[in-house]
Structure 1
Amino acid sequence: MTTHPILAAFDHALLQAKNRAVVAPMSRASATLQGVPTGAMQAYYEKFAVGGFGIIITEGLYTDTLASQAYPHQPGIVTPAQIAGWRAIAGVVKAQGSIFIAQLMHAGALSQHLMHTLAPSAVQPMGKKLASYGGGDGPFPLPAAMTTADIREAITGYVQSAENALAAGFHGVEIHAANGYLLDQFLTDYTNLRGDEYGGSIRHRFRIIAAIIAGIRAKVPAGFIIGLRLSEGKVNNGSYRWPGGVEMAASLLAEVKQAAVDYVHISGEGSTWEKLVYDEQLSLTTIAKRMVDRPVVANGGLHNLEVARRVLEEGHADFISLGHAALANPDWPARVREGLALTDFERDMATPFPPLQ
């Protein structure tokens, strides 16, 4: 038996979790072609709940049928059938005492699926599509610059999807503004060349995210959780770091604080938590913890129990999210508690599994 701090309960406003272990959102490409969750997906999420994770965040769910879908077999949270499918999964997850969060995602220019994509500006995306996600391995299409009407439509999609997540029985939603997808495209200098109220300053770049958060807050009850995921690295540019470092981080997190989300999730896309530091040896999670006054979730190589202990005990973050380690060990919290050996991650564990229905 162990008393690692990741096993300690957490009680703060809306986030009352049985421990600090979080399943990170991971694209599984395993819904039906209509975006409906399957029985295989229910078994997948239930394993994490039975295995003892305090919080489980879904893979990114598309938020409209117009321009948000990232890849074939991605689940959505838009249609009645999709909502019903997630309701069944939410029931089995919540029965184990885990908090269940729906991650809301708009792919923007990085859709593997759509031939006509939308983005803040008409900028050719870096990199190539991923063949394993059904989009071939060629270049992404050149996106069209979003009009203000397009932006309003995207905001409406997020807000309606949050209402749908509430109807499906989720405890809350996580707004995906990380890893190079649409909302991160608004935050990023080389993908947002706009000269209107959605471009230029950090406040203007954050405007669409602020509108989404405010719109959701106006439509859901007070007990519904609204989280926000941020990152520097992107799926098509893992080494990217914000110009200005700490200054950029502080400016962005000031906007996050103003938006008053219930938690902040910092993704380690392309790196590990230990390496995501600035010249001042401050990590993005540490700055978020100091500035935002909300629970912070750290991510990136934190299956290392000694690093995870340091992150929690030194106050850099409140939760640890795991991706590969969770895939290899759906019962990771239970194994840590009992002092059992952990299975090493192998690449084929991340291969999308085919939908069963």
Structure 2
Amino acid sequence: MSIVITGGNGFLGWHTRVLAHSLGRSCTSLGVGDRFNLDEAAAALSGAEILVHIAGVNRGSDEEVAEGNRRFARQMEQALEAADTANLKTVVYANSVQQDNDSVYGLAKREAGAVLAEAAGRAGAEFKDVVLPNLFGEHGVPFYNSVVATFCHLVAAGETPTVQDDKVLTLLHAQDAAEVLLGVRRHEEQELVEVQCSVSGLLERIQDMAAAYATGTIPRLDSDFERNLFNTYRSFLTGDGLPRVLELKTDPRGSFVELIRSEGGEGQSSFSTTKPGITRGQHYHRHKIERFVVMSGTGEIAMRRMFSDEVVRYSVNGEQPVAIDMPTMWSHNITNVGPNELYTAFWVNEIFDPASPDTFPEEV
């Protein structure tokens, strides 16, 4: 299935591209605004089965917000008119709950949706208006995408956020939103994965998770929402602070190190040996939490955020064990770079399910 999206470099667009990649589907991202090229857009849409319009403007002057959203929709209208849409089945619009208010942004989203609906009809495609609430997820931009991203950024930096407007929010993880946009999850099921949470309650959960994780403990994750919120927080910890030094206790009998402590929920541990020069891994996960600890030998852990060219590398060895928890939607591997066999322990927060492995091949 060929998918074309707009806003592919934004927060929701990136999550949608990750989902498409995990499904093995071709996904082309179109530029809009000043980057819009009618010939390129028409060529990309010719033969495509789904168009997902995510790009929008929600910051700026009233004129910039209003005209930006209308302009992007009109550009998609022009592209659909110029393209061969014989195979196009669906035009999906990533709308906002704010469409129901009379704000400049709400009016602009509503008008953009009307333009797309008419264009889809002329192209012979079904129009799906997906109304999305407050989105959160890995790699959101603080002070821009959501209060979740702002809280996670501040707490990860050791600061104490304050709540200015303690209202109840309807929250949806970006991967769940992407599943609705691509038809993996029926639109009617969207409410099943939405969560109601007050701003103060949200901050308290993030702070509790951060406090537990600061001690090396995986906090209690009793729901998909808790897991998604924890993974969102962890996305702000990548870099030099990711490896967690473990206490190695040694006596005449040998040595002992505690690999992980979890406050609850299911989990699975495993162990591997790796010959010199061999690389394991080369995959990513959309949801699961996975910890690597090298117990003996010398290795290198490498990871790369999906669709990025930057590779982060960590040297690890059994003389000073460290725990490295793999960020979700980052491809990762481990290579034995030493002369002896590499012994590595692994832990994941869920029992492996062959029917839903949440493991997708991708070289670092």
Q: TM-score, normalised by structure 2?
A: 0.32
Q: TM-score w.r.t. structure 1 length?
A: 0.32
Larger radius of gyration: 2
Q: Relative contact order: is structure 1 or structure 2 higher (C-alpha 8 Å, sep ≥ 6)?
A: 1
Q: Greater share of strand residues, 1 or 2? A: 2
